[in-house]
Amino acid sequence: MSPVTDRPWRTAALLLPAAIAAAHIGPAATWLPGVRLRLFPALSGTGRRRHVALTFDDGPDPESTPRFLDALDDLGVRATFFLLGEHVVRHPELARETARRGHEPAVHGWTHDRPWRPAPLRDAEELARTVRAVRDATGHRPRWYRPPYGILTAGRWSAARRAGLRTVLWSAWGKDWTADATPSSVRAHVAADLRGGGTILLHDSDRHAAPGCWHSALGALPALVESCRRAGLTIGPLHEHGAPVAPAGGGRRI
């Protein structure tokens, strides 16, 4: 092959890895709130205008999750818990108790990793394994998936669909994973973005965050719930949230 005719093949060989990487990580752009809220309201967890979905990531954790379950009982609120498969198999009784108290189990993945390299077969196997673990522990088949860090790749989106899971991120978060988070800061971060029809992201564990940071989310719960109720909003799990009915931002602020 002559140098002239060889040039397109060389160019293709150079561009192919970049194209594969772009296809893999491209959906992660939905992590950006503006992109997600405007273009993918369902992915943001946008639901009925008078409802707010309360969700927690990273459990079950025997140190902290029971405290959240008790607090939610006291507040008369049910939520959706996105569970990690490796934690579920270590603490199946806690996953079972979460469901027994009326909360909705969902899938957060098997481990809390960052998916920078394409691994579609591993993604499919791990999500299927997590679905089985959650179902076996709780008696409920999960219907929702949220990827760790909110980083949605093409492989994980496809794996979730094959596993019968609907992917949902959030519209308001408390930034409760940092060492300097406080109940007041968590409440302020949520209030800045939350509208009726929104989905709140908090964490019921510090295993993948600053040690002890879960205390901030726990301490923020009463004020968050009270603010929503004062605004005439009902708080509950995702399965009560309803299908998206309006662009994000159309609901009432807390």
Ordered DSSP codes for 77-113:
---EEEEEHHHHHH-HHHHHHHHHTTPEEEEEESS--
Can you read off the two tokens belonging to residue 10? 């060389």
Cβ(106)–Cβ(80) below 8 Å: yes
Any catalytic annotation for residue 91? no
Q: Which of 252, 183, 171 is nearest to 222 (CA)?
A: 183
Helices (H), the chain: 3-25, 33-39, 65-75, 85-90, 92-100, 120-138, 154-162, 183-193, 214-230
Neighbours of 15 (CB within 10 A): 11
Alpha-carbon span 101 to 202, nearest angstrom? 19
Can you read off the two tokens belonging to residue 112? 């809390």
Any catalytic annotation for residue 189? no
For tokens 């929702």, what's the residue?
Answer: 144
**CA angle in degrees (0–180, nearest 5) for 10-15-18:** 150
Give the DSSP H or E segment for 168: none
Q: Catalytic residue, from 51, 91, 112, 203: name it.
A: 203
Alpha-carbon span 193 to 209, nearest angstrom? 22
Q: Catalytic residue, from 24, 57, 103, 204: name it.
A: 57
Alpha-carbon span 179 to 195, nearest angstrom? 27
For tokens 């909003």, what's the residue?
Answer: 233
For the annotated catalytic residues, the residue numbers are 57, 203
